Amino acid sequence: MLNIVLFGPPGAGKGTQSEKIIAKYNLTHLSTGDLFRKHLGEGTELGKLARKYMDEGKLVPDEVVIDMVDDKIANTPETNGFIFDGFPRTVAQAEALDRLMQRKATKIAGMIALDVAEEVLKERIRERGKTSGRVDDQDENKIETRIKVYLAETLPVASYYEKQGKFAKINGVGSIDGIFEEISNVIDSY
């Protein structure tokens, strides 16, 4: 299996690049944000719980996220591997992911981080908010909170993989295809 963590702040282009990666490498896309939005749309208990955090731009508690990922992995028996998008977002989640991978007798090949300056991120999120319908994309305070939460709680996850020699950073500003080529080069080196 080939398991990759695609990393970066909100608006870095993780969703866009994930689409291209899954098509080229035939992987399963596991976006915790997408999974939560699906639950929200279906009005499940999990969706209702997650909504309180999502609408504020805060992180959903680790155990809730980890259980949902566990479930998704368990229900995907036949796959070449996973591309994790928006997960792990805390060191506790990264540790849990290692355990989940071990249980499947596999591991994380590496983390690929998309580097984008804060002002560019904000502009991209505002643009996306015009069509995404996402409450968290349309309010300056919520955009600000998400970036703050990223810096305080999520950025340490990069060091977690760096310490294991599993970290690659790519410039996330440029053409979609150009960025994808850089990502492909990293993946092909695994």
| Active site residues per annotation | 14, 89, 128, 134, 146
Per rule CB under 6 A, is residue 68 in the interface with ligand AMP?
Answer: no
| Cβ atoms 1, 34 nearer than 8 A | no
For residues 138 and 189, which CB has a smaller minimum distance to ligand AMP in the complex?
A: 138
Least separation in angstroms between residue 17's CB and ligand AMP is: 13
Per rule CB under 6 A, is residue 87 in the interface with ligand AMP?
Answer: yes
For residues 64 and 173, which CB has a smaller minimum distance to ligand AMP in the complex?
A: 64
- Which of 146, 150, 157, 172 contacts ligand AMP by CB under 6 A? 146
* Residue 87 labeled ligand binder: yes
| Cβ atoms 27, 4 nearer than 8 A | yes
**Residue 16 identity:** T
For residues 65 and 189, which CB has a smaller minimum distance to ligand AMP in the complex?
A: 65
- Which of 4, 9, 32, 143 contacts ligand AMP by CB under 6 A? 32
Total Cβ atoms within 10 A of residue 37: 18
Per rule CB under 6 A, is residue 66 in the interface with ligand AMP?
Answer: no
* Residue 11 labeled ligand binder: yes
> Could you tell me which of 139, 3, 22, 162 has the C-alpha nearest to residue 84?
3
For residues 153 and 189, which CB has a smaller minimum distance to ligand AMP in the complex?
A: 153
- Which of 6, 12, 22, 54 contacts ligand AMP by CB under 6 A? 54
Total Cβ atoms within 10 A of residue 181: 13
- Which of 1, 51, 53, 166 contacts ligand AMP by CB under 6 A? 53
Q: What residues line the site for ligand AMP (CB under 6 A)?
A: 10, 32-33, 36, 53-54, 57-60, 65, 86-87, 89, 93, 136, 146
Binding residues for AMP: 32, 37, 58-60, 86-89, 93, 134, 146
